[in-house]
């Protein structure tokens, strides 16, 4: 009895160790490989950091990597602010006012959440072409401005977490509606806003397909485009590619390290309710 | 208070919700709804975006369904990847959630580590693993050689069967932590009293898991399967990146990695610029997703009725 318990315990530990290793190894390999020159990598596969990471990074900087980083940051920041703004406002309208279109709007959000994004892709690209916005970063921002999931998430959250009494008391005190929203309601919804902001950060930062279809000017590349371009053009510069991937992945890892608790909680809460 | 001011204030009050909803609704109409209809409209045309549009009726749909062999191959590939990866990642997520949930100090650490693959760009995943599975310079071959399992590197990515296995594996790798995290959130909502009562009745660990935990999490399982199906149908970036820059950069060896969205991008944009054809493809994909979610909902409802 006791021996079998120990065996089970040991096996569990081994099992967890293996899965953790499989999850972490690819992230470890990135900077390790990124810190060697390609010639070195052709000879042996390293398990510890080499000395060429900054040399590889310098090569990247020569091919506009900094600008790419700036583009990605621009797109991500505007997407987060715009999308969070829109979804907070509409969810506030849906949950805290009684008006004719209320049920319709709520239904619209739920139904459109099920549509695959590609269904609008071609039309969207043509629309951006007509508006002369291809090869600018704006189409990559616009695409997040009415995102059904973030709106849905905010609606669910506001329903449960913002008491109607607060709003009523604000009205009795004669506060204007914007004032009520900013100073009374906003403090309640900060956790949900940060959750959708992190989600939007992840989606926008990782977005590849739409930028690939809309942007073909190197100056407007975002990070996923830059990396993928690097791969097809310099297939054999493995060291440089790995260094680029390291830098591409790093901001997300940092954000995740800081906010992992609210991140995981947010994703889980959004789905458990939905 | 003056009556007219009061009325004015009230009508202002009525305008507020519309004002608040307006930015979202306008953006939705401009950037999603209109393009969606425009895509539908285009699906009846033969058009490359430059020359005159040519109305072809249902020809795009007909060609896709009855003439384009690659279309069916891509659909079958995508469904295959999905049917294999979704059960594995869901079950693995559930089992791990059950194991990790009762841990005390290490719970958060495992949660974070297992969730990590989910946050990384699929395009990065594709190129990292393209390297790891490389024939000459990949860690996996290196490892297999060093433990003496094989004598020389395996062409993992040039073999159709192994290609499929690798893509399924990557899908599982990316999603099992997500499933686990969601199951763990569901487990916090199960009352400990139920377990207590069952333990008093002499239930063992396995019975607790299969008779209480699994049925209690039924709704989450449905949710996970539905979203995995919708996401799985849209698989594209990982397989694409696995083969980027290789000789089989379109579809992998014998098109064994070709997915629906990959075909969509290729037909509509890459070199052919058949916009109408691509639009028709997306609408067929939409119908397939609808059917899948409808069927899975029916199955899960029936199960729910049995329990």
Digit-coded pLDDT (tens) for A208-267: 989 999 998 888 899 988 888 877 666 567 778 888 888 888 888 888 888 877 777 777
Same domain for B84 and B192, yes or no, is yes
Same domain for B108 and B252, yes or no, is yes
Work out how many domains chain B is built from and give that number.
Answer: 2
Convert A9-39 to b/e letters by CB count within 10 Å (16 or more is b).
eeeeeeebeebeeebeebbebbbbbbbbbbe
Domain assignment of residue A43, yes or no: no
Q: Are B24 and A86 within 8 A, CB to CB? A: yes
Residue B260: give its domain's CATH number: 1.10.3720.10
CA A190 to chain centre: 18
Domain assignment of residue B58, yes or no: no
Domain assignment of residue A80, yes or no: yes
Q: Nearest-CA distance from B197 to chain A in Å?
A: 24
Q: Are A227 and B127 within 8 A, CB to CB? A: yes
**Chain B residues closer than 8 Å to A263 by CB:** 119
Q: What is the mean pLDDT of residues B35-45?
A: 91
What pLDDT shows up at residue B307?
40
**pLDDT range class, residue B206, cuts 50, 70, 90:** confident
Same domain for B14 and B97, yes or no, is no
Q: Nearest-CA distance from B128 to chain A in Å?
A: 7
Domain assignment of residue A37, yes or no: no
The model's pLDDT over A81-133, given as tens digits with 9 standing for 90+, comes to 999 999 999 999 998 888 888 899 988 888 888 788 888 999 999 999 889 88
Longest dimension (CA), chain B: 93
**pLDDT range class, residue B8, cuts 50, 70, 90:** low
What pLDDT shows up at residue A1?
58
Residue A243: give its domain's CATH number: 1.10.3720.10
**Chain B residues closer than 8 Å to A129 by CB:** 49
The model's pLDDT over B62-115, given as tens digits with 9 standing for 90+, comes to 888 888 888 999 999 999 999 999 999 999 999 999 888 888 888 888 888 898
The model's pLDDT over A19-28, given as tens digits with 9 standing for 90+, comes to 999 889 888 8
d(CA A159, CA A163): 8
Work out how many domains chain A is built from and give that number.
Answer: 1
Domain assignment of residue B39, yes or no: no
Domain assignment of residue A5, yes or no: no
Q: What is the mean pLDDT of residues A145-164?
A: 87
What pLDDT shows up at residue B302?
64
B 104-123 residues inside an 8 A Cβ radius of A: 108, 110-117, 119-123
Domain assignment of residue A87, yes or no: yes
What pLDDT shows up at residue B306?
46
Same domain for B130 and B25, yes or no, is no
**Chain A residues closer than 8 Å to B178 by CB:** 267
Q: Scanning every residue of chain B, which has its alpha carbon at the shortest distance from the alpha carbon of A244? A: B124
What three-state secondary structure class fits A134? coil
Domain assignment of residue A169, yes or no: yes
Domain assignment of residue B180, yes or no: yes
What pLDDT shows up at residue B186?
85
Higher pLDDT, B190 or B271: B190
Domain assignment of residue B59, yes or no: no
Query: B122 — phi, psi (to 5°)?
Result: -55, -35
Q: What is the mean pLDDT of residues A166-176?
A: 85
- Out of B13, B27, B35, name the one closest to residue A123 (CB): B35
Q: What is the DSSP letter of B273?
A: -
Task: Answer for the pair B117, A218: CB distance below 8 angstroms, yes or no.
Answer: no
Q: Which of B298, B178, B292, B174 is nearest to B233 (CA)?
A: B292
**Chain A residues closer than 8 Å to B232 by CB:** none
What pLDDT shows up at residue A272?
56
Domain assignment of residue A133, yes or no: yes
Q: What percent of chain B has pLDDT over 90?
A: 23
Assess whether pLDDT exceeds 60 at residue B11. no
Same domain for B7 and B81, yes or no, is no
What pLDDT shows up at residue B303?
58
Task: Answer for the pair B229, B289: CB distance below 8 angstroms, yes or no.
Answer: yes
The model's pLDDT over B125-182, given as tens digits with 9 standing for 90+, comes to 888 888 888 777 778 877 888 787 777 777 777 888 888 999 999 999 999 998 998 8
Domain assignment of residue B223, yes or no: yes
**pLDDT range class, residue B35, cuts 50, 70, 90:** very high
Count CB-CB contacts under 10 A for residue A160: 10
Q: What is the mean pLDDT of residues B230-252?
A: 82
Domain assignment of residue B270, yes or no: yes
What pLDDT shows up at residue B171?
93
Same domain for B119 and B17, yes or no, is no
Containing domain of residue A247, as a range? 55-273
Same domain for B22 and B81, yes or no, is no
d(CA A92, CA A99): 12
Same domain for B232 and B84, yes or no, is yes
Containing domain of residue B239, as a range? 64-306
Domain assignment of residue A88, yes or no: yes
Assess whether pLDDT exceeds 90 at residue A176. no
Higher pLDDT, B14 or A224: A224
pTM (2 d.p.): 0.86
ipTM of predicted assembly, 2 dp? 0.86
Q: Are A127 and B278 within 8 A, CB to CB? A: no
Q: Scanning every residue of chain B, which has its alpha carbon at the shortest distance from the alpha carbon of A28? A: B128
Q: Are A23 and B173 within 8 A, CB to CB? A: yes
d(CA B178, CA B111): 9
Task: Answer for the pair B129, B170: CB distance below 8 angstroms, yes or no.
Answer: yes
């Amino acid at each position: 009895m006791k021996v079998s318990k120990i065996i089970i315990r040991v096996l569990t530990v081994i099992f967890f160790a293996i899965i953790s290793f499989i999850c972490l190894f690819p992230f470890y390999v990135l900077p390790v490989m990124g810190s060697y020159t390609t010639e070195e990598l052709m000879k042996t596969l390293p398990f510890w950091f080499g000395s060429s990471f900054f040399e590889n990074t310098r090569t990247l900087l020569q091919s506009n990597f900094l600008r790419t980083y700036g583009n990605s940051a621009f797109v991500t920041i505007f997407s987060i602010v715009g999308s969070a703004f829109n979804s907070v406002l509409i969810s506030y309208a849906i949950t805290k006012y009684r008006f004719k279109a209320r049920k319709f709007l709520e239904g619209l959000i739920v139904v459109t959440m099920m549509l695959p994004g590609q269904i609008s892709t071609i039309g969207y690209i043509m629309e951006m072409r007509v508006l002369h916005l291809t090869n600018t970063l704006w189409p990559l921002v616009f695409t997040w401005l009415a995102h059904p999931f973030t709106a849905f998430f905010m609606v669910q959250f506001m329903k449960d977490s913002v008491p109607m009494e607060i709003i009523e008391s604000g009205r009795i005190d004669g506060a204007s509606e914007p004032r009520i929203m900013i100073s009374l309601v906003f403090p309640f919804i900060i956790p949900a806003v940060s959750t959708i902001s992190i989600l939007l950060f992840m989606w926008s930062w990782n977005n590849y397909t739409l930028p690939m279809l809309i942007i073909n000017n190197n100056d407007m590349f975002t990070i996923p485009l830059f990396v993928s371009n690097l791969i097809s053009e310099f297939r054999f510069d493995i060291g440089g590619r790995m260094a680029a991937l390291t830098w591409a992945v790093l901001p997300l890892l940092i954000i995740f390290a800081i906010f992992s608790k609210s991140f995981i909680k947010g994703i889980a809460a959004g789905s458990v309710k939905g | 208070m003056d009556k007219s001011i009061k009325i004015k204030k009230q009508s202002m009050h009525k305008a507020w919700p519309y004002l608040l909803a307006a930015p979202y609704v306008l953006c939705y109409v401009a950037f999603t709804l209109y393009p969606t209809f425009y895509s539908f409209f285009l699906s009846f045309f033969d058009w490359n975006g430059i020359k005159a549009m040519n109305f072809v009726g249902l020809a795009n749909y007909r060609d896709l369904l009855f003439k384009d062999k690659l279309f069916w191959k891509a659909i079958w590939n995508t469904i295959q990847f999905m049917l294999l990866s979704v059960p594995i990642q869901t079950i693995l997520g559930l089992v791990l959630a059950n194991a990790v949930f009762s841990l005390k100090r290490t719970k958060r650490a495992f949660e974070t580590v297992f969730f990590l693959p989910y946050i990384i760009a699929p395009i990065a995943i594709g190129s990292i693993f393209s390297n790891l599975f490389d024939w000459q310079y990949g860690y996996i071959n290196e490892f297999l050689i060093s433990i003496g399992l094989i004598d020389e590197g395996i062409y993992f990515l040039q073999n159709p069967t192994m290609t499929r296995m690798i893509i399924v594996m990557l899908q599982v790798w990316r999603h099992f932590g997500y499933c686990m995290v969601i199951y763990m959130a569901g487990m916090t909502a199960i009352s400990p009293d139920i377990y207590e009562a069952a333990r008093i009745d002499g239930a063992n660990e396995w019975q607790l898991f299969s008779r209480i935990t699994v049925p209690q999490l039924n709704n989450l399982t449905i949710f996970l399967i539905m979203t995995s199906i919708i996401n799985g149908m849209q698989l594209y970036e990982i397989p694409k990146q696995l083969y980027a820059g290789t000789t089989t950069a379109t579809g992998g060896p014998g098109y064994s990695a070709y997915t629906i969205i990959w075909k969509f991008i290729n037909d509509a944009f890459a070199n052919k610029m058949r916009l109408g054809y691509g639009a028709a493809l997306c609408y067929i994909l939409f119908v397939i997703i609808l059917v899948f979610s409808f069927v899975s909902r029916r199955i899960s409802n029936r199960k729910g009725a049995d329990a």
